A = this chain, B = another copy of it.
Amino acid sequence: MIMTAATDLQALLDGPHAALREDTRRRLSKLGLERADGLSRDDYRDLVLTWVKEVGGSGDGARSFPASVGGQDDPGGRIATFQTTGHSDLSLLVKMGVQFGLFGGAVHRLGTERHLPLLRDIGTVDLPGCFAMSESGHGSDVRSIRTQARYDADAGEFVVHTPDETARKDWIGSAARHARMAAVFAQLDVAGEAQGVHCFLVPLRSADGEVLDGVEIEDCGDKMGLQGVDNGRLRFNAVRIPRDNLLDRFGTVSPEGVYSSPIATPGARFFTMIGALVEGRICIAGAGLAVARNALTIAVRWGERRRQFGTGLDMDTPLMDYLTHQRRLLPAVCESYVLQAAHDHLTASYVEVLNGGEGQRDVEALAAGLKAVATWHMVGAVQNARECCGGKGYLTENRFASLRDDSDIFTTFEGDNTVLMQLVAKTLLSDYAAQFEDLDALGLVRHLGSRQAGRMLSDVTRRFEKTSLLDPEWQLDALRFREERLVDSLARRLRTLTQREGIEPLRALARCQDHALAAARAHLERQAHELFQPNVTGELLVQVRDLAVLSTIERDRAWWLEHGFLSPDASKDLQKEVNTLCRELRPHALTLVAGFGIPDALLRAPIAVAEQVGGAGSD
């Protein structure tokens, strides 16, 4: 019985790639992660490179690459093993992501037949590379990058050049020490005509590690975390590369200097090109969920072991028995299960799109939104878990130092979370507009008006009267109602600002930024809970769902109160119900974190060794 519950939960989280994840956990457990402890920065970086090579040697590096070049055509599997690696050293995770996902991904997704053979050496790490997109002046705004790539038809070469400091490539993982080649994003100029952002392969170092002529490399210096990743800055001084080094799947240049592309407009080309980023976001979302689970596992196990002797009472009470402790940890544990369902769906949809399926825009929006929601969930879970472990959590040996410092940048890289949530909001708005595209402006306003009135008189009243906190239909209804209303009212505000006040659309959106973010979050939360619903089998998962959804609603319950969906009394009942669910789930806390399936050899926190607390679960 005891093991069954935890095993079932783990099977749910491991999903379709369970065997692969188990294999990855076993493989990572043998890497000797403790060897990084106390190393100098350079030695740590070199050790991480050897780990990345071991991953490459295991075949996992080429997992998503085509079978024709030694890969397995399995991007879904790669996303799963990447997430599982989030339980281990995060410098390894990020360096792997750079080599196989970003550098390899650029060659794979943006290159053509003549580039694919490179993937053999990329997968085995015989060719360590990097992904040079971000520039010092243009963090989250790739379209504005300023690195130049001019085609010289006489020489049949591109000239890659950094015109000034704002165009310096910045934060490039693997650039400072190991990369021999970079996938460089630059503005293509053919015969004086700007063709927009394209990606070029630029050699950086010789086989023996010498930096090549015209390339300038500098270390970004000490970072808060991820010291095992050699982030660097790159400048190019009129570096010449052969014409073949353009990754030309979406735009090519003939020897004579004629540009052609299967995609008509530079705008559309650009979006296709940076579509390559979407896999990175999916990967970071998954890793963020893994990091949160690490922290929650440590805190729950310690909360079970640590006894607090209550002053004046003869009680020897585990910390986990306290309501505040339960409230800090259990909702996040349950949300971990819910968010994984969204991640599984995202991964599957992404693979479908890669295989020619529909829904690319939805995948891009979900990737952006889930990356933000999952990494913010991570930041909160890690901080709460650290505080719940008190002084023990402050000791380096108990992992919070590295967990937090290494993962903190997840909210920033692969797109700043706030910027990503705005992307989601923009997608919601265009879906909204598309829904009504047959109506003229006036018609839309009229339509909105009647919809609103209708809802106020019927739907809301019905809902208000029928608050039923533990009914999954009511729960989803609440989440759907919020999303619908927020998008609706956002569209109205924008309409007023643009049509009546004549404000330019993007400026108008900037004025409603908090509204847009709320709409995006509502969208993500609704989606995640809908996607989790089919996973709810058995009593324990019913409670997991209830606590996750009710604590989500509780956090923002003011909104439902303001919009007549919750009565003041129902809102108070909601809080009581969260307390009740915390109490009911408390005996299953160890089981729920056992379901995360993190081996001690990866967790590496002495206060959270599974056997010492019956980590397999106590049900």
Contact = CB atoms under 8 A, between A and B. Distances in A.
Interface of A: 134, 137-141, 143-144, 170-171, 220-225, 307-313, 315, 322-325, 327, 379, 383, 386-387, 390-391, 393-397, 400-401, 404-405, 408-409, 411-413, 416-418, 504, 506-507, 510-511, 513-514, 517, 557-558, 561-564, 568, 571-572, 575, 579
18 contacts: A137-B309, A140-B390, A141-B309, A143-B312, A144-B309, A223-B396, A224-B394, A225-B401, A312-B506, A386-B408, A390-B412, A391-B412, A391-B413, A514-B579, A557-B558, A558-B558, A561-B568, A561-B571
Contact of A409 (B322, B323, B324, B391): B391
Contacts of A311: 141, 143-144
A513 B324 contact: yes
Total copies of this chain within the assembly? 2
A513 B223 contact: no
A409 B398 CA distance: 14
Contact of A222 (B143, B312, B396): B396
Contacts of A561: 558, 561-562, 568, 571
A400 B223 CA distance: 10
Nearest to A411: B387
A324 B418 contact: yes
B323 A510 contact: yes
B571 A323 contact: no
A587 B254 CA distance: 52
Contacts of A220: 395
A138 B396 contact: no
Given A312-B506, A394-B409, 5 more contacts: A171-B391, A222-B397, A225-B401, A325-B418, A558-B561
Contacts of A396: 221-224
Contacts of A138: 309
Nearest to A511: B323
A440 to B, nearest CB: 25
A220 B572 CA distance: 45
The 10 closest A-B CB pairs, nearest first, are A222-B396, A224-B401, A558-B558, A323-B513, A561-B561, A562-B568, A144-B309, A557-B558, A324-B513, A394-B409
A184 to B, nearest CB: 18
Nearest to A564: B568
A516 to B, nearest CB: 9
A20 to B, nearest CB: 31
Given A412-B387, A506-B310, A506-B313, A394 B223 contact: yes
Best-surrounded residue of A387, A395, A558 (most CB of chain B within 10 A): A558
A297 to B, nearest CB: 18
A562 B401 CA distance: 40
Given A390-B412, A391-B409, A400 B224 contact: yes
Nearest to A516: B324
A140 to B, nearest CB: 8
B517 A324 contact: yes
A514 B313 contact: no
